[in-house]
Structures are given as structure tokens and as C-alpha cells.
Structure 1
Amino acid sequence: MQRSAVRPSPLFFGLLALTVVGGVLAALSHPTTPKDAMLTAGVFLLVIGGWTVSLTLHEFGHAVVAYKGGDHSVAAKGYLNMDVRHYADPVLSLILPLVFLAIGGIPLPGGAVWINRWALRSRAVSSWVSLAGPLSNLAVGILLTVAVTYIPMPVGLAVGMSYLALLQILTFVLNILPVPGLDGFGAIEPYLSPSARELAAKVRPWAPLALFALLFAVTPLQDAFFELSRFVFQAVGGDYRLAITGQYVFMFWRH
């Protein structure tokens, strides 16, 4: 890949800066004080900024693997610039997922990159293009949990980073499901029969929303999803108690 093909945008660095500001506020807060405003603001900015950065990395992961796999059109579309605006419709891809995150704690997949699958060199490359996104979330989640585990830090920062890490694992588990419209299905789609792919194309626009409706409406299904995510989170070293505390602080409007 040409070195000039990847040009991180100022917006990406701005989102990183917002995340860092949130982390600093959380680190300087006093969690022993009930409803500490600095803690709340810090965790909120850390999670919102960090989640948007991870959305950018998720979609950039798809694009950079596609570029290396033969689809050079992603460069012309701006997908290699790490600018979230190129991956997202303002309402459907950014605002709506943030609303879902706020009301239910489930990170709705937000972005999208349009890949010319015919330009990719093989079915295996096509599968890796789909897997690159959720694997980036898994990698970010692991890095965050490792940092919390091995780097001494104030408890305010630890709870914020732990919740952000849990969201990465939730996103990974959700996206890896073999549901049309999600990356897990995209990984196996190249190996399906033409009739199966045609059927998947018909249900792809609404299948993820149907899945979310089921997750909200069917309690056993929701419990199973969160338990699986919790298992993966703890398997990579996450502290679930810290993460749940971070979620409580983040959702300040609920209490």
C-alpha cells in the first residue's frame, strides 16, 4: 500500500483529543463524592469520544484490508482518511447509534464503507475485509483492558476505560453474528450459494434492526447476548465490576 494513501484527518485527531480530555477529567475527579460532576463529564466524554474513534477504526479496518486486497476505489472515496463523516450518515450512522447506546447500552453498528467486492482478489480476502472491522473492536477492547490491568491509574479513569472496553467487546460480539447486514455474515457470504446470497440481499436492509428489536423485546435473548459479551470481556482480562460502574456513571440521566 502506498504510504500516501492513508492520511488521517484533523477530525480524527480532534476526536482523539476529546477522548483524552475526557480521560483527564475522569482521572482528576473524586469518585468518593456522590454524583461528582467532573467524573460524570469525564466518563461521558471519554466514552462518547472513544466510541466514535473506535467506529472510525472499525470502518477504516474494512477499507484498508479492501485496499490491500485489490479494491483501490476506497482511497478515492476517502475511506483511508479516517474521517468518520465518510463512513456515516449523520442520522442513521451516528445519531441513532448514540441514542441506542444511551438508552440501552447496546452499540448499534453505525458506519458503512462500500466495497467493490468484484475487485477483491479472492473469497478469502472478501471474508477478511468483513472481519477486519469487528477484529479492530476486539483489539481496542483488549488494549484497554490490558491498560487498566497493568497500568496504575485513578479509579475514575479505570471505570471509564473499562466501560469503553466493554462496549468494544459488545460491538465485536454483535458484529460477528451471522446475520445479513452484519460483518459475521459478510465473512461467510462469499462461500454461500447464489440463491442464498440473493435471499440475504433482500433481507439485509432490515435484518440488523430486526435483531435489535428482538434484543430489546426478548429478555432471554438479551440476557444470552450480554452473558456471552461478559464472558468474552472477562476472558480478555476485563474487570466487569469496573465496567458496570463506568456504565452507571455514563448513564447519569437514569439516576
Structure 2
Amino acid sequence: MTTALTRRDRRISPVFLGIAAVMAVSGWAVWTEFSASTGFAVFLFVTSAWIVSLCLHEYAHARTALHSGDISIGAKGYLTLNPLKYTHALLSIVLPVLFVIMGGIGLPGGAVFIERSRIRGRWKHSLVSAAGPLTNVLFAVVCTAPFWLDALDGVPDVFRYALGFLALLQVTAAILNFLPVPGLDGYGVIEPWLSYGIRRQVEPLAPFGLLLVFGVLWIPGVNQVFFDAVDAILRGLGVPALDPALGQRFYRFWQGEPQLPLTTG
């Protein structure tokens, strides 16, 4: 069913390639301390890498939907990794970046339009929803690979801090996306298995699900439990507790950079 795709439908967008180039160049600048402002280089590296992960998140949804029966995906431009093709660029790119800048949390994006009526089978519907946050999980594993592989010899301190902060964003995004709340991917995973009556009852909540989650996260006790879980996952991946915090401090270069050398326990 994928034969309807044209080469144009699958060609990687120059927009995505440009973002990936910024990630590569700024990552090199962080590694070599080439930039006069290390914090600004960290800002560009983490922000561009975060946008790349958002594009891959949406691509995973789209690609899985394509192989599950929605052959309209290609014509919508979702397979080009172009974030400008998303149905809600504000929700998928702008707001997630703003939340990283303001709060250091991975906001779930969302916005490839999938024609669910073309997909048959509950397992396929669940897999389409799960594909996006599973990409964040994979991204977190890649970011933390130097930590859990004990391969940090020769890795500059600031670069490892940036990786730690980027990993934190991926872990928070994965956890939030997998919450079984209407409007989030976690609900999309379980929705096909719910009765028609339950789905009809919760359907009106979908546009407000994300707002509800962040409202609940403002509760100090809930916020503490959430970030304790994030810290536990990062520790399990070998990331010292201080590294993501230092990475965030460098990321917010406008607040002044930490003084080096810095040590982590």
C-alpha cells in the first residue's frame, strides 16, 4: 500500500536538513569550545536537537500510520520531516521550544493528521500512537549512551552537561506523552480498547488534556513526584543528578554561565 508514494513525498526537506546542520555545527562548537559564548552554543545545540527530535516524533507517527493503511500520509508532506507541514506548527514546534526555554520540560507536541478510518485493527491504532513517544525513548537512550556505556573519557564537561539536559527533555516528553490522558499519545494507545460509550464520554476532554496535565504539574507534590521519577530514570541510565541541572544553566546563557571547572559526583 506504500506504492502510492512519490519520490517527492519521501524527499527530506531542506528545512529539516538546515535544522540538523545547526545541531551539528553548534554541537561541534560546544565540544571544541569554539564559540565565545559557550552558553549560546549550548542553547543552539539543545534547541536544534530538540526540534529534530520533535520532527522524528511526528515522522514516527506518520510512517507507522502509512504502513498501517493510511496512504494519504505521503501527500501531506509528513514523510519529508518538514515541521512546517504539521497541521499545528504552534503546538508541534513553537510551544515545545518555548517550554524548554522557560521551564526546562519536554512538552509533547502533536500534530500530524492521521485518517484513522483508513486503519484497520486495534493493535495498529495503538502502535501508531505509541510510535511517537517511543522515538523520544530512543532519543533519550542515544543521548545517554556515553553515560551508561561508561564512555565519557575525552568528552568535554560542557558537552556532557548539554547531553544530560537534552536527555532530561526526552525523558519528560516520553513520560508526558505516555500518560493515558485524552489528547495525548498514551490515551491513543488505549483508546481502541475502550468501549464506544467511554470514548464518547471522554472525547470532549481531548482539546484540554494537555492543559489539564500541566495544571496538575503545578501542584508542588505532583511536581516533586514527577521530577523524582525523571531523576530516577536518568540515574538508571547513568546520568549524574547534577549534569542535567548544569546543562540547563549553560542553556540559559542570558542568566550568566556557570564558572568552570565544575565537577560532578
Give TM-score, length-normalised by structure 2.
0.87
Specify the alignment match of 1:162 in structure 2.
164
Specify the alignment match of 2:193 in structure 1.
191
Q: CA separation of 1:114/1:88 partners in 2, compared to 1, >3 Å: closer, same or farther? A: closer
* Separation (CA, whole Å) in 2 of partners of 1:72 and 1:37: 48
Specify the alignment match of 2:155 in structure 1.
153
Contact 2:83 2:89 in 1 (8 A): no
* Separation (CA, whole Å) in 1 of partners of 2:241 and 2:19: 26
Q: Secondary structure at the match of 1:209?
A: helix
* Separation (CA, whole Å) in 2 of partners of 1:208 and 1:128: 21
Specify the alignment match of 1:128 in structure 2.
127
* Separation (CA, whole Å) in 1 of partners of 2:232 and 2:87: 30
Q: Secondary structure at the match of 1:199?
A: helix
Contact 1:88 1:94 in 2 (8 A): no
Identify which range, 164-173 or 146-155, moves more after superposition: 146-155
* Separation (CA, whole Å) in 2 of partners of 1:158 and 1:38: 17
1:61 positional shift: 0.4
Specify the alignment match of 1:253 in structure 2.
254
Specify the alignment match of 1:33 in structure 2.
none
Q: CA separation of 1:88/1:157 partners in 2, compared to 1, >3 Å: closer, same or farther? A: farther
- Output the amino acid matched with 2:179: L
Determine what percentage of the aligned residue pairs are the same residue: 37
Specify the alignment match of 1:28 in structure 2.
32
Q: CA separation of 1:199/1:92 partners in 2, compared to 1, >3 Å: closer, same or farther? A: same
- Output the amino acid matched with 1:147: P
Specify the alignment match of 2:263 in structure 1.
none
Specify the alignment match of 2:261 in structure 1.
none
The answer to whether the aligner puts 1:93 opposite 2:78 as a matched pair is: no
Specify the alignment match of 1:18 in structure 2.
22
1:43-192 aligned at under 5 Å gives the runs 43-87=42-86, 89-148=88-147, 149-150=150-151, 152-192=154-194
Q: CA separation of 1:88/1:38 partners in 2, compared to 1, >3 Å: closer, same or farther? A: farther
Number of residue-to-residue matches in the alignment: 249
Structure 1 alignment gaps of length 5 or more: 31-35
* Separation (CA, whole Å) in 2 of partners of 1:118 and 1:15: 33
1:37 positional shift: 4.8
Structure 2 alignment gaps of length 5 or more: 257-265
Contact 1:88 1:110 in 2 (8 A): no
